[in-house]
Amino acid sequence: MLLAQAGFGRGDKVHTALSEDLIGGVILSPKDERRDRLEECVSELRADYGDASIMVDPQFYVTTVSVPRDGRLPEYDYYADHAPLSRTQFSPKQIGRYVSACLGYQNAVPGLSYILSPSVLFDDFRDSWSQIALNMAEASIDYHAGLGNAPPLLITVVTSELALRNATGMGEFLDALSGLEVDGFYLLVNRSSSSYQAALDTRAMENLMYFVHVLAHLNEYQVVVGYSDWIGFLLHAAGASATATGWHQSLRQFSMARFEPADGGRRPRKRYSSTPLLSNPLIVPELEDIYGADRLSDVLSGSPHDSILRGGPAVGEARWTDEIGCLAHWAAVGRAIDRIEAQRRPAAKLNTAVQLIDAARSLYDRLLSRGVNFDPQTGPDHLASWRDSVSAFRHTAGI
């Protein structure tokens, strides 16, 4: 299942995407929503889309940022007056207060599908922050058990691309998680670069897939991975039950830079989300060059909005609004995930993932031979990295 990773500028995007069956639900962002509006949104979505999966990422990890860019978060009692928190402010009694306030708030919001625990970011599976994260997980499970008819609990794990390069430390941490009596996990990976990168470090991606595999396949937990974007189809192949992506780059990959002071940036150039390429070529010049090479139909994803660009991407660019681009992106990423989820066995899911990667690589080669050039952010280098990660994961997992 693909979820919308919500943030600033939500508007009607989530409602529209649910009505068009492009997503299965949403993870809402308190940083970007007034408290009353967030609660109204949950109520509206539950009333209009009864089967939607609706969650709120409490974003408690922002409390450890020294000078946080935390938006609306101070309006929420579980967050207010906590930032910044240091390692010394996580005694058992303090953790108990953080957990009870965070879980108690979510339990009081009717319509949520899951309650997400508070947690902190750690960059090493063996450091003190990782132990704090485990302590918060255990405290969350204990508190949740006393709530009665509360929604199921997902334990939040916020680690980093750097930490995922250490397979030994990760294995020890997985052993600790695998003993928890909980419905599942909400996983975030802080990326090494705040600028968008389609691929993680190859070793980190391999280990992320294994992390998901151990929790989902071997221990039968629900695993939801936020801010996944295109790598979501690989994580579904590893066993994830849901992945999420949003409508701009800071909602498509997770970076704590989103919560730190920043200068204003320029408006990004418009891109098209292509399932066949597993990437987002620039509408001008890349998609226009593909059109000039008479290969536009090869890269289109099958979205109803493709008609805007069929007569020429440069001509249609002005009508390719941010909202249309968002809906088309969800359609494209969701199509890749659907290909994976159509398979039942883990080996078949991985075979399908490799087929998608190889087909995209072949398409890039054909386009390059026709004189179409691509920006480094567009590809195709990410495909080789993904394929290497899948091969290494299959060897490690024995699939």
Q: pLDDT tens, 8-19?
A: 999 999 999 999
What is the rounded distance in angstroms from the CA atom of residue 261 to the CA atom of residue 243? 27
What is the rounded distance in angstroms from the CA atom of residue 397 to the CA atom of residue 352? 17
Question: In whole angstroms, how far apart are CA 9 and each of 32, 152, 230, 251?
Answer: 8, 29, 21, 11
Structure tokens at 343: 């398979």
According to CATH, the superfamily of the domain at 2-259 is Queuine tRNA-ribosyltransferase-like (3.20.20.105)
Positions of the chain with pLDDT under 70: 83, 263-265
Question: In whole angstroms, how far apart are CA 213 and each of 185, 236, 270?
Answer: 12, 9, 35
Q: pLDDT tens, 345-391?
A: 999 999 999 999 999 999 999 999 999 999 998 989 999 999 999 99
The full set of domain ranges for the chain reads: 2-259, 283-397
Minimal CA–CA distance to 211: which of 162, 251, 178, 256?
Answer: 178
For residue 4, give the 3-state DSSP assignment.
strand
